[in-house]
Structures are given as C-alpha cells and as structure tokens.
Amino acid sequence: MLELVEFDSDIRHSAGLPRGRLRSFLASCWRETYGKQLGADTASALIATLEGDRLGGILPATDERVLLAFQDKQIVGSCVYAARGSVAYVWGCYVSQAVQRSGIGRRLIRQILNANSGAERLQVTGLWASKSATGFYTALGFKVVDQVEFELLPNCKQPALVMDAFVADLAAD
C-alpha cells in the first residue's frame, strides 16, 4: 500500500521530516541515475552534498513542501515543490528504480496539483541527460519551454530542460 505524506521543508518547522531516511533515499537514487549519466565521480560529489540540513540544495528556503511516497514504511518516491504566484515549481522528484513505472511519480504530481488549487502551471527543470525523466514529464503533458545550464556543483554545469504544463491540461489526464 502506498502512502503519500507531506512535510514542511523549513528546518525550523519540519517536525517529522525523516531527513536521514530521505538522505539515504536520495543518495540511492542519485547513485542509480547520475552514476550512469554523469559518471561515478560527479555522482559521488553530488551525494556528498546531502550531508547538510538542506540536503544538497533540495530544501533551500522556507516555503517549500516535501512530498514523500512510502511503501511498507520505506521511502520510494520524493518530490519537493513551492507554489509561487500562479506557478508551482517542482524539483527533487525521484522514484526508486525498483518501483518506477508503477504510477508513483504520477501520484506525486497529482498530489501537488491537488494541494495547489491556485496554481495555473507546474514547472520542472530536469537534466538533459535524464531521458527517462524527460519522457515521464512529456507523457504527463509537460512541454519544453527553455534550455538552461544547471549548476549541479561548483564548476559543474549540465544542460537542462525547463518543462512547463498547464494545470488544466494535467487535470484532464
């Protein structure tokens, strides 16, 4: 059974956010994903950034929400988002490889839609090298609106796609 649980990402208000477990989950996902796409050294450097309270920049400010998917008390999915005006920005969206293609990613995005009734659009930035993520978002109805250089680490930029979807189009799915 899948359980979606939402947390405040602000360090001062994030009671219950299982940072250690989320850190382990992200490290596993980053190793699986970025080790292949960007190389073991870059993946290891990224994983090392997870040691702080901000979890490598995944939790950078005070208005973000963290949505975690649990299956048998294990984190199997994560998504961080912030609604700012008419746009809900989504990042840190990962699903364990063992359960990908089971609808967990889609449920995470649906939950964000439901939590942000004032948002008109959802926007996500994903690495160009993450073809499976791009395919996932495209299948949901996201369209590429920009290409940028995303700084993963100091002196380590990667091409990324900014993808956008109108909530009304996603809700119809």
pLDDT score of 173 more than 60: no
pLDDT band, residue 41 (cuts 50/70/90): very high
Predicted local confidence at residue 13, as pLDDT: 61
Q: Does the predicted TM-score (pTM) go above 0.85?
A: yes
The CATH number of residue 32's host domain is: 3.40.630.30
Model confidence pLDDT, tens digit, residues 78-136: 999 998 889 999 999 999 999 999 999 999 999 998 887 788 999 999 999 888 899 99
pLDDT score of 35 more than 60: yes
Model confidence pLDDT, tens digit, residues 122-159: 999 999 988 889 999 999 999 999 999 999 898 899 99
DSSP strand pairing (74-84 vs 65-71): antiparallel
Q: What's the total number of domains in the chain?
A: 1
Helix (H) or strand (E) holding 164: strand 156-166
pLDDT score of 27 more than 90: yes
Task: Give the three-state DSSP class for 50.
Answer: helix
The domain in which residue 96 lies consists of 2-171
Predicted local confidence at residue 74, as pLDDT: 95
Task: Give the three-state DSSP class for 119.
Answer: coil
Main-chain phi, psi angles of 52, to 5 degrees: -80, 170
Predicted local confidence at residue 171, as pLDDT: 62
DSSP strand pairing (156-166 vs 2-8): unpaired
